[in-house]
């Protein structure tokens, strides 16, 4: 994105040096195999699902390297969902006047679950960033619906699902699969790349 000739890098986009290539393995844990990093750390798992590691150096221009427009920073996407932050500027997305949360959604990131509810892995956008996002993001421009949302709940993760290969090596089986927090049988095989939330009280504009 550009503004006044400067590139705007959306808050959720990863920079080159934030990407982490630590290998994952299957390990025997609590009577089943599960995915793990070679040297596990506290915070690698969220509700029993391994989360993709990434650094968060958005405020360290000296270290972060160039942006990678097609790569998501999982840590910042997660924070956007937890705290309802704008995916473009990283500020609070909730409209102070109405208390509702603006949300621009394309078909590819949205699954309807009821007349006024649905699931998405795309964080909200604040009102002042929506025109910028529309102008610059070809996917949004071509096919989007603009909603406001009353509230959200965490639904699960968007993940890569792995099969257990020889020597405990994981083999990627499916990419971008939604795994709900209560779909416990898949948790050990999933590497979470984004948090999915359920939107409630949706109104389209
Ligand atoms: Zn914003």
| pLDDT, averaged in runs of 10, over the chain (205 residues) | 61 94 94 94 95 94 89 96 96 97 92 97 94 70 86 98 93 97 97 98 93
The burial class, CB within 10 Å (0-12 / 13-18 / 19+), for 42 is exposed
Cα 64 to averaged position of ligand 1 atoms, centre (Å): 21
Cα 6 to averaged position of ligand 1 atoms, centre (Å): 16
What pLDDT is recorded for position 8? 76
Structurally, the chain folds into a number of domains equal to 1
What pLDDT is recorded for position 5? 46
Cα 5 to averaged position of ligand 1 atoms, centre (Å): 18
Confirm if 45 and 54 have CB atoms less than 8 A apart: no
What pLDDT is recorded for position 137? 66
Cα 50 to averaged position of ligand 1 atoms, centre (Å): 29
Cα 120 to averaged position of ligand 1 atoms, centre (Å): 18
Counting DSSP H helices and E strands in the chain, the numbers are 4, 16
Q: Which residue has the tokens 């942006």?
A: 67
Q: Which residue has the tokens 């968060």?
A: 56
What pLDDT is recorded for position 1? 52
Instruction: Return d(Cα 186, Cα 160) in angstroms, integer.
Output: 11
User: Domain range holding 155?
Assistant: 2-204
Cα 87 to averaged position of ligand 1 atoms, centre (Å): 7
What pLDDT is recorded for position 143? 79
What pLDDT is recorded for position 33? 95
Tell me which DSSP letter residue 95 carries.
-
């Amino acid at each position: 994105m550009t503004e006044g000739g400067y590139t705007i890098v959306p808050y959720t986009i990863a920079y080159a040096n934030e990407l982490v290539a630590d290998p994952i393995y299957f390990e025997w844990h609590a009577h089943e195999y599960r995915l793990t990093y070679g040297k596990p750390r506290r915070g690698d798992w969220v509700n029993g699902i391994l989360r993709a590691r990434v650094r968060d150096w958005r405020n360290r221009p000296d270290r972060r390297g160039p942006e990678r427009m097609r790569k998501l920073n999982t840590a910042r996407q997660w924070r956007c969902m937890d705290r309802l932050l704008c995916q473009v500027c990283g500020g609070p997305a909730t409209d102070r006047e109405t208390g509702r949360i603006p949300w621009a959604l394309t078909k590819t990131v949205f699954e309807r679950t009821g007349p006024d509810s649905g699931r998405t892995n795309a964080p909200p956008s604040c009102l002042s960033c929506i025109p910028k996002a529309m102008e610059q993001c070809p996917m949004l421009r071509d096919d989007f619906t603009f909603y406001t949302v009353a509230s959200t709940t965490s639904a699960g993760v968007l993940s890569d699902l792995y099969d257990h290969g020889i020597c405990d090596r994981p083999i990627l089986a499916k990419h971008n699969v939604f795994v709900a927090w209560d779909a416990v049988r898949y948790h050990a095989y999933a590497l979470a790349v984004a948090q999915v939330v359920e939107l409630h009280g949706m109104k389209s504009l």
